Structure formats: structure tokens, C-alpha cells
Amino acid sequence: MNSRNSTPEAATPSAAILLVVVACFGFSFLDASAKYLVQSGMAAPFVAWMRFVVHLAVVLVLFRGWSNRAMFRTGRLPAQIVRGVFLFGSTMFNFLALQTLQLAETISIYFFAPMVITALAGPILGEWAGWRRWLAVLVGFVGVLVITRPGFGTFGVGHLFALASMLSYCGYVIMTRQMGATESSESLIFYSALAPAILMFPVVPIYGSMPQETIQWVLLVALGLIGAFGHYLLIRAYKLATTSALAPYPYSQMLWMIALGWLIFSDLPDLWTLAGASIIVASGLYIVHREHRLRLQNRTAPNTETGELAKKL
């Protein structure tokens, strides 16, 4: 019995790890494609809108929208719309940031999201962090300051967009946690693509611009395909392994972003970016480790008082 119970903690299925790593490579290629498109003159809002339109089409086919009524069923339509707006804001602000920042810079700031979610989960979700996780949040914030270096002439509008993207993503994740118990997975995926596609349609005539080259058409379609299948791969991965077991592997995206930035844009992050990213990654991994230990402690806690005490450790 003991060995059976310890197996999920001891080994993570290699298939789950592979799915996460492939998804992260896909997301890195998505960002690199978006950077190429916005730097070639296409408006970021239009690129982001196209990403969700194609994503929506893929979801409709993938979940057989013509016969799957569960995909459309929701009891919290306003919340679904707000959640979709958060996801769109995360994407659009990220594309705006990519106009001026390197791929490695944007993903480094994005990796601060787990720490912000930890801080916001207390007042919003009632999931209060202990002093050790709060200390990890502060250390992660130091990493952001190392990357952006405000006051030293390096902080620019691109960093503001990257921070706005990260904060929008945090809102998206927190709302997903709130709605996960009552809304189906299909509806969460569907409405997160439908809401941006509809809400942003009126501004398409303002920001829209027909691609002038075949490669631009290919990349625009690829944005939605990669985004949809990337999220699908993550869903499959988290069915095979726990969130804490897979937590370190999304950080592989940093390696992909550095490689693609060098191969496509001849960009290499400076030492400040690498140092700040290392601090953020270390802080994020500590928070994941700490929450994993608390789950194990609460699982074996004999009463509520002991479980609450464990949260303060």
C-alpha cells in the first residue's frame, strides 16, 4: 500500500513531461511569430484578434461544436466574458511588448505571474500564503526589478506592456480557479476564444491590415493553431500528472525563447535579464515546492486546526 501511494510522488510520466515541453516550444514559436508580424508593420490588436478567431475555429472542430451542447452551456456568461477579456489582454499586451523587447525579456517578466497569483489568491480566493511564500514573492519581484532596472534608463513602454500582459494573465488564472468548479472544461476553452473574437471585431476595420506576403498569412493562421493545440496538449499533460509534478517544465520555455530570439532576430539576452530570470524562476519553483508540501501536510493533518497551522509554515 505504501509503495502504491508513493508512486505518483516519485515518478512523473515521461509522456506528460514531453507534452508540456512540446506545448512550451509551441508557445515560444507563437511569440516569435507574433514578434515577426508586429515588427513587419501589422497592428498588434489585429494580430491578437486573428489568433483568437483561428483558435475559435479549431475549438469548434476539435470539440465538435455542431453536436456538443456542453461546450455552449454556461451559468456564468458575464464571468466567462470577463475571463476571455483577461486572456485577450494578456495576448495583446504581450504582442505590443514584443515590438520592442526581446523574447527572453517578455517571458522572464511573464514568469512572475505565479508569484502575483499567490499574493492575490488570499484576498480574492481565501487561499492565504504563509510568510515563506510571501518572501518568495518579494524575491521574485526583485528579479523583475533586475530585468527592468527602473531609474537606469532601461525601463520602457515595452516593459509596461509586458507587466500588463502578466497581470492580465493573473486575472485569467484566478477567474479560471473560481469558475472551474461550476463550468465545464469545454465551455471554459470555448468562451475564452469566443469573447475576444466578438468583442474586438468592431475595431478590426481600424487596426486590420491585409497581409502583403504569404509568410504573414501562414503565421497568422499558425498563431491560432499553435495556441489551441498548445492548450490542448497542456490539458492532456495535466490529466497524466499533477500540477506540482509538472511545474518545473514550463520554465523550459525560457530556453526556447532564447534560442528562437537568437536564430530569428539575432537577439541574445544580457546578463541582467539572465540574472533576473534566474531569480524569478528560483522563486517560482520554491513556491511550487512549498505548496506541494502543504498539500501533503494537509492531506495527513488530523484536524482543521493542524491544517491551518501548516499554512503558516
Q: 310, 294 in Cβ contact below 8 A? A: yes
What whole-number distance in Å separates Cα of residue 68 and Cα of residue 274? 46
Domain for residue 4, yes or no? no
Q: Which domain holds residue 117?
A: 14-311
Among 7-11, 44-48, 55-59, 171-175, where is mean pLDDT lowest? 7-11
**Residue 3 belongs to a domain:** no
pLDDT cut 70: percent of the chain above it: 84
Residue 141 lies in a domain: yes
**Residue 150: is it exposed, middle or buried by C-beta count within 10 angstroms (0-12/13-18/19+)?**
exposed
Is residue 275 within 8 A of residue 146, CB to CB? The reply is yes
Q: What is the mean pLDDT of residues 92-116?
A: 88
Helices (DSSP H) in 149-213: which residue ranges?
A: 157-179, 185-199, 204-207
* CB contact at 8 A, 196 and 49: yes
In this structure, of 37-41, 246-250, 266-270, the range with the lowest mean pLDDT score is 246-250
194 vs 65: CA distance, rounded Å: 12
Inter-CA distances, 247 with 8, 132, 232, 257, 292, Å: 14, 18, 17, 18, 10
The secondary structure of residue 183, as a DSSP letter, is S
Residue 167's pLDDT is 93
Whether 9 is in a domain gets the answer: no
Q: Is 274 exposed, middle or buried (0-12, 13-18, 19+ CB in 10 A)?
A: middle
Q: pTM for the whole thing?
A: 0.80
pLDDT tens for 119-149 read 777 777 676 667 677 787 788 778 888 887 7
Q: Quickly tell me which residue has 509551441 as its cell.
A: 26
Query: How long a stretch of residues is the chain?
Result: 313
**68 CB-near residues (< 8 Å, 6+ apart):** 186
Q: Is residue 1 part of a domain?
A: no
The structural domain count of the chain equals: 1
- Is the residue at 74 inside a domain? yes
Name residues whose C-beta falls within 8 Å of residue 148's C-beta, 6 or more positions apart in sequence: 109, 154, 155, 159
176: in domain: yes
Q: Kindly state whether residue 128 falls inside one of the protein's structural domains.
A: yes
